[in-house]
Amino acid sequence: MNQIYNFFPLSIYRDKIILSPENKKEMIEEIIKMKKDSDKGLKPAQNAWTGDTHGHEYLFKNEKFKIFYEEVEKHIIKYMDHFELDVSKLEFYFQRSWATLSNSKEYISPHDHSQSNLSFAYYLKKEKGDSEFILIDKLKHNEFIPQLFTSVSAERNKIFKKRTTSNIARINIDPEEDDIIIFPSKTLHGTQKNTNNNERISISADVSILAKESKNLEHLTPPFSEWKKFTNN
Ligand SMILES: [Fe+2]
């Protein structure tokens, strides 16, 4: 009997954050207001509105989102359990956070957040049929014939009998409202194209992880409190 080992996975976290309806309502209203005040129509028509590129990249400073970020923290820590990390030796920072709002056929092209360690998407307002979340694998360890996993003609010619996690380079997750999805920031991600969105609102953030104690330790960024800012810059 043969055996297949699946090594080197990409582990994505999913759970729910249940906020009070009143809190959600004020968060939604706040985001709609941010969009209204900052949307000068400069973005390409097919792009979703993203707060980080419209002057709203520190959403965690807004009191109305306080409970939300407290909940997010708990989920990030739980995600770390999966990797057997001792979080007592690490410090976590939200470095930036923003909302996205999509209407009609607007979408977010594949991108990553290379200046960050962990990122998440939380679905504050999402109806069935709104765009799904897309993850794209850059490494494709299993793709022994280059480009095969994403080949349109291979798909058309039914080269694969079936698609499984062993032969794909792209996966759609259809989150429900209140879902949070956490992933490594270096993962390419975006939203589904050609879908009709009805004021779909998500919140994202970039999280940096530093060492609490830097002594005899490589590869982790030293604690923020020890850094020295340039004096003449
Ligand atoms: Fe993103």
DSSP string, 37-49: HH--S-S-TTBPE
How many angstroms separate the alpha carbon of residue 187 from the centre of ligand 1?
Answer: 9
How many angstroms separate the alpha carbon of residue 188 from the centre of ligand 1?
Answer: 8
Residue range 157-202, pLDDT digits in tens: 999 999 999 999 999 999 999 999 999 999 999 999 999 999 999 9
Query: Per mean pLDDT, which range of 39-53, 67-81, 174-188 is the poorest?
Result: 39-53
How many angstroms separate the alpha carbon of residue 189 from the centre of ligand 1?
Answer: 6
| Span 226-231, average pLDDT | 96
How many angstroms separate the alpha carbon of residue 122 from the centre of ligand 1?
Answer: 11
Residue 175, pLDDT score: 97
How many angstroms separate the alpha carbon of residue 232 from the centre of ligand 1?
Answer: 33
Residue spans of beta strands (DSSP E) within the chain: 13-16, 49-50, 90-104, 118-125, 133-136, 170-173, 179-184, 188-191, 197-211
Nearest of 200, 202, 207 to residue 183 by alpha carbon: 207
How many angstroms separate the alpha carbon of residue 133 from the centre of ligand 1?
Answer: 10
Residue 39, pLDDT score: 76
How many angstroms separate the alpha carbon of residue 230 from the centre of ligand 1?
Answer: 30
How many angstroms separate the alpha carbon of residue 51 from the centre of ligand 1?
Answer: 11
Residue 154, pLDDT score: 97
The pTM (predicted TM-score) of the whole model is: 0.95
Residue range 50-69, pLDDT digits in tens: 999 999 999 999 999 999 99
How many angstroms separate the alpha carbon of residue 161 from the centre of ligand 1?
Answer: 32
Query: Per mean pLDDT, which range of 35-44, 63-72, 149-158, 205-214 is the poorest?
Result: 35-44
Q: What is the CA radius of gyration of the chain?
A: 20
How many angstroms separate the alpha carbon of residue 17 from the centre of ligand 1?
Answer: 19
Domains and CATH numbers, the chain: 13-212 (2.60.120.620)
How many angstroms separate the alpha carbon of residue 12 from the centre of ligand 1?
Answer: 14
Residue 43, pLDDT score: 78
How many angstroms separate the alpha carbon of residue 227 from the centre of ligand 1?
Answer: 28
Sign for the CA dihedral angle at 34, 36, 41, 43 comes to: positive
How many angstroms separate the alpha carbon of residue 109 from the centre of ligand 1?
Answer: 9
Please report, rounded to a whole number, the percentage of residues in the chain having pLDDT higher than 90: 95
Give the span between the Cα atoms of 94 and 172, in whole angstroms. 26
How many angstroms separate the alpha carbon of residue 196 from the centre of ligand 1?
Answer: 20
- CB–CB of 125/28 below 8 Å? yes
Residue 187, pLDDT score: 98
Residue 44, pLDDT score: 84
Q: How far is CA 205 from CA 58, 143, 180, in A?
A: 9, 31, 11
